[in-house]
Structure 1
Amino acid sequence: MTAPHPYTRYIAIGDSLSEGLGDPSPAGGHRGWADRLAEILAGHQPGLTYANLAVRGKTAAQIRAEQLGPAIELEPDLVTVTAGMNDLVRSGFDAASVVAEVEEMFVRLTASGARVAIMTFPDLGKVSPLARRVLPRIVDLNTRLRATAERHGVAVLDVFPHPVTTDPRLWSDDRLHTSPLGHARIASGMAHVLGLPDHADWTDPLPPRPPVPVLRAVGTEVRWAVDFLGPWLWRRLRGRSSGDGCSAKRPEPGPVTLSA
């Protein structure tokens, strides 16, 4: 079989999105879109090896400082980067500073010879009403990321324009992380951006949902506030991060086992 892509070593760096939160693995831990993308790549290139250095809760500056060097040392020919979400929700957010950190990653990764890919952010206000206030930040950050990626020849999975990316079924109950279906769509979208065949349908809408009774909708909002919003705010007030004490789930490149 002729491989439709040239990649033999794929490294993922980033935050909880790349770590795979919201997508439990049958073997324990988290699967996520990067694992799923590695499986897609390995299906066409059986010799592919894959490492995932992403850690939940990390800001763009932390990803650059802690993951970039180790990623380059692994000599990848493909690197995906997810960074900026944990910056977006902080009070001191500065888009220019975040993009400067991301651009440094682009510069060093592309100089190493790796193909680099990123993704934009969806309209989170359509996922959680409390996130509507960050829409101007998202638009600004996405615009800067697209321009920076273009300057450095970085591939972009642009999720913002596509309505399906804010369908609640693509998001986990906490509304911060994508669901297994959401991770699958991201993996398919990234495969499409990288030129693999048979993944152009990643933007297809899901079937219509039945209407939700008002009382049930209100109850869902209350449970979300108690179970997820409250604990998240408490961590912020204490200056804690969900990534404190966590390490990379797959720090060394290894072969990819294809799911049945």
Structure 2
Amino acid sequence: MTTYVALGDSFTAGLVAGEPRWADEVARALGPRTRYENLAWVGATSADVEEKQLDQALSLDPDVVTLVCGANDVLESVRPDPAEYATRLARMFARLRSEAPKAEVVTATYPDISRFLDLRPRTRARVEEGMRRFNGACRAVAERHGVALLDSFDDPAAADRDTYAADGFHPSPEGHRRAAAAFLRALRTRFRPTEAAAT
């Protein structure tokens, strides 16, 4: 039995009930003997993930964890703090490493979420710069804790409008498909999910 837990915000939770989400596709690919819990919710900040999702995730004794958060920290603050975000992310990765030492943990940076949003020029520049700083923090913290990272900011697919839903921000069905494929590539190089699911 493999236990997979997904943590995060609407990128992971999805927006429309019944539509496929990338984490659902990852769970299916891990095999029929996979226990899957998606604890993410729309609007979650990194503080929400740490304070309201992480304990539940650890209680499930996970084998696989995906943790992606930070976009709402940037969108909801005029002056988002990448240092505070890095500290919070480091605490979460440290707990996962110490309390779920066998778990394979995968995180990701965000694409340029300002690209297709209807924003004023100054707001667009603020959001883009905020995401650059937060993504930089995520890269550094993930490397320090040995966490696999998908770098989405400069991925060519991130510049494709088909990757996004009508709001220009959340993943479209095609975006979820691409994300699932990327997460599975990362897992297969480290976790070998088809073998784990068969045991």
1:34 aligns with 2:23: yes
State the number of aligned residues: 183
Deviation at 1:75, TM superposition (A): 0.4
Structure 1 equivalent of residue 39 of structure 2: 53
The two structures have a TM-score, normalised by structure 2, of 0.86
**Is the contact made by 2:85 and 2:137 (CA closer than 8 Å) also made in structure 1?**
no
1:158 aligns with 2:151: yes
Q: Is the 8 A contact 1:21 1:32 kept in 2?
A: no
The 8 Å contact of residues 124 and 166 in structure 1, kept in 2 or not, is answered as: no
Partner residue, 1:193: 186
Instruction: Name which of 23, 27, 50 aligns with 1:64.
Output: 50
Greater Cα offset, 142-151 or 117-126: 117-126
Q: Note the alpha carbon deviations across 1:218-244, whole angstroms, 9 max, x for none.
A: xxxxxxxxxxxxxxxxxxxxxxxxxxx
Aligned counterpart for 1:89 among listed residues 75, 80, 85: 75
- 1:46-195 equivalent positions in 2, closer than 5 A: 46-90=32-76, 91-111=78-98, 112-113=100-101, 114-128=103-117, 130=119, 131-195=124-188
Q: Distance in 1 between matches of 2:176 and 2:80?
A: 26
Consecutive unaligned residues of structure 1, counting only runs of 5 or more, are 1-6, 197-260
What code does the residue aligned with 2:59 have? E
- Structure 1 counterpart SS, 2:40: coil
The RMSD of aligned alpha carbons is 1.8
Question: Taking every aligned residue pair, what percent have the same amino acid on both sides?
Answer: 38
Per the TM alignment, residue 127 of structure 1 is displaced from its structure 2 partner at its CA by: 2.2
3-state SS of paired residue (1:69): helix
* SS of alignment partner, residue 44 of structure 2: coil
One-letter amino acid of the counterpart of residue 161, structure 1: D
Contact in 2 for aligned 1:149/1:155 (Cα 8 Å): yes
Matched to 1:159, the amino acid is S
How far apart, in 1, do the equivalents of 2:91 and 2:150 lie?
Answer: 19
CA contact (8 A) 2:71 2:131 kept: no
Matches within 5 A, 1:214-233: none
Quick one: distance in 1 between partners of 2:115 and 2:125?
7
Counterpart residue type for residue 166 of structure 1? A
Once the two structures are superposed, residues 128-150 of structure 1 have per-residue CA deviations (whole angstroms, 9 ceiling, x without a partner) of 36234322111111111111101
Q: 1:62 Cα deviation (Å)?
A: 1.1
Deviation at 1:99, TM superposition (A): 1.8
In structure 2, C-alpha distance between the alignment counterparts of 1:117 and 1:85, rounded to whole Å = 17
- C-alpha deviation, 1:154, in angstroms: 0.4
SS at 2:107 equivalent: strand
Superposition misfits of 4+ residues, deviation over 6 angstroms: none
Normalising by structure 1, report the TM-score: 0.66
Please say which structure displays the higher CA radius of gyration: 1
